[in-house]
């Protein structure tokens, strides 16, 4: 009883509120529908339990469901790990290399960022995911990625069951003529006959579950592919954008330096082990990180401070060259833009040709920033903030005043 009480704490019960959100409700609903229909179709109409294959198939379906839910709830309730409130580096001199968060009243540890949704600084923050109603970061990155892997695999298995159930049950009921197709919805020829006939309601439910399974396979599979690309480089989505701005800064000021991402261990296997471990516990403490040769612990944070001090690089100015309706997954902007739509609660913004955008971060095919409503780029004017496709905009030419700066002044900036 004492052990039970030590597990069920007030803080843990508070975490259950994360389930009361549209993201987890939809995600768990899809899992429940696909899993339940796959088991029902398999047992009643396709592969009964009294056969060896049917028993193995049923156990595999249960196994998929358990593993998917286990990693899903781990990602949701374990969370990404937060920088302790009031945290500061052991060596006070190191604070000069770090940004200070006024909300958390603490310095931002390397690779950490403040999340407006969680209202905390998140260790190794990748993004805030609405489907788990939590951030993806240091502690739950492995569980989140495993969920992205297992969900499509389980849906592929379920989709196979759905297709084979409809095929075997309808095969003897379809009569194809030259001009007509006649469908007889009587019981299928099976020995022994199924306890419950495969009627119109079962067909509609199976077809609906098949659509969910195929849609989940494509959408979640794309997210898994994106996550694995950054994991194999030991990056996060935010760090990819910071690296892009770092290269832009060096090119703009014509500096004699090359930006080296400090957390890339040099091989994909070593990078993979930074996230996935046999114990399930990620390496390190989320505050200090191993870096490659030639870099030190604060190489990346120093670059962040440079970008913060540089108003030009803090937000990149873009001009809209193609209208955008503000759709979540626009079909007319390319297949890659459609499938890589940011998985976030943050809004999309409608764009019209000729408008200007200040982009502060982004992905490969999407950018996030502010649309300035006034013609003048003045601090404090009204702005509309959100995501928009990268292929709808182009970078604006540099300001004339900046372009006329002497070559030596550019290099000294």
Q: What is the DSSP string of 38-90?
A: HHHHIIIIIS-TTSHHHHHHHHHHHHHHHHHHHHHHIIIII-S-BPPTT---S
Q: Which class for 272: exposed (0-12), middle (13-18), buried (19 or more C-beta within 10 A)?
A: middle
- In 3D space, the residue among 368, 96, 391, 127 whose CA is nearest the CA of residue 245 turns out to be 368
3-state secondary structure of 100: strand
Q: Is 365 exposed, middle or buried (0-12, 13-18, 19+ CB in 10 A)?
A: middle
State the CB neighbour count (10 A cutoff) for residue 290.
Answer: 14
Which helix (H) or strand (E) segment holds residue 148: the answer is: helix 141-170
The residue count for the chain? 413
Give one DSSP letter per residue of 248-316, joined into a string: HHHHHHT-S-----TT--SSHHHHHHTT--TTSSPSS-SSS----TT--TTHHHHHHHHHHH-HHHHSE
Give catalytic residues, as residue numbers.
Answer: 129
CA distance 49 to 56: 9
Token readout for 208 is: 């609906």
Q: 129 near 118, Cβ under 8 Å? A: no
At 113 the three-state DSSP class reads: strand
Q: What is the DSSP letter of 233?
A: T
**Short-list 368, 134, 346, 340, CA closest to 241:** 368
Radius of gyration of the chain (CA): 26
């Amino acid at each position: 009883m004492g052990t039970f009480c030590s597990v069920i704490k007030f803080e843990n019960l508070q975490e259950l509120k994360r389930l009361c959100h549209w993201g987890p409700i939809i995600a768990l609903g899809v899992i429940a529908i696909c899993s339940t229909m796959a088991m029902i179709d398999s047992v009643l109409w396709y592969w009964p339990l009294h056969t060896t294959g049917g028993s193995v198939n049923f156990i595999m379906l249960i196994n998929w469901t358990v593993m998917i839910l286990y990693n899903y709830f781990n990602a949701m309730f374990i969370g990404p790990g937060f920088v302790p409130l009031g945290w500061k580096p052991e060596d006070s001199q190191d604070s000069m290399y770090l940004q200070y968060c006024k909300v958390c009243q603490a310095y931002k540890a390397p690779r950490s960022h403040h999340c407006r949704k969680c209202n905390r600084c998140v260790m190794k923050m990748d993004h805030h995911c609405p489907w788990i109603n939590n951030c993806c970061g240091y502690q739950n990155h492995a569980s989140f990625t495993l969920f992205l892997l297992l969900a499509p695999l389980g849906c592929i298995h379920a989709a196979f069951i759905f297709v084979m159930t409809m095929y075997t049950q309808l095969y003897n009921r379809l009569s194809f003529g030259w001009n007509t197709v006649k469908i007889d919805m009587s019981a299928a020829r099976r020995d022994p006959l199924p306890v419950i006939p495969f009627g119109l309601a079962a067909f509609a439910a199976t077809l609906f579950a098949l659509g969910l399974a195929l849609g989940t396979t494509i959408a979640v599979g794309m997210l898994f592919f994106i996550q694995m690309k950054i994991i194999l480089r030991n990056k996060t989505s935010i760090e990819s954008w910071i690296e892009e701005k770092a290269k832009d800064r060096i090119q703009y000021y014509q500096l004699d330096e090359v930006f080296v991402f400090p957390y890339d261990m040099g091989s994909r296997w070593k990078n993979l082990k930074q996230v996935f471990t046999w114990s399930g516990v990620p390496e390190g403490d989320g505050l200090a990180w191993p870096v490659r040769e030639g870099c030190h612990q604060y190489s990346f944070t120093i670059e962040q401070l440079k970008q913060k001090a540089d108003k030009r690089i803090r937000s990149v100015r873009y001009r809209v060259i193609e209208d955008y309706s503000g759709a979540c997954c626009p079909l007319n902007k390319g297949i890659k833009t459609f499938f890589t739509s940011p998985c976030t609660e943050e809004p999309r913004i409608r764009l019209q040709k000729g408008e200007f955008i200040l982009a502060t971060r982004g992905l490969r095919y999407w950018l996030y920033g502010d649309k300035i409503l006034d013609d003048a780029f003045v601090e404090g004017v009204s702005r509309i903030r959100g995501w928009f496709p990268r292929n709808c905009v182009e970078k604006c030419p540099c300001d004339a005043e900046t372009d006329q700066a002497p070559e030596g002044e550019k290099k000294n900036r």
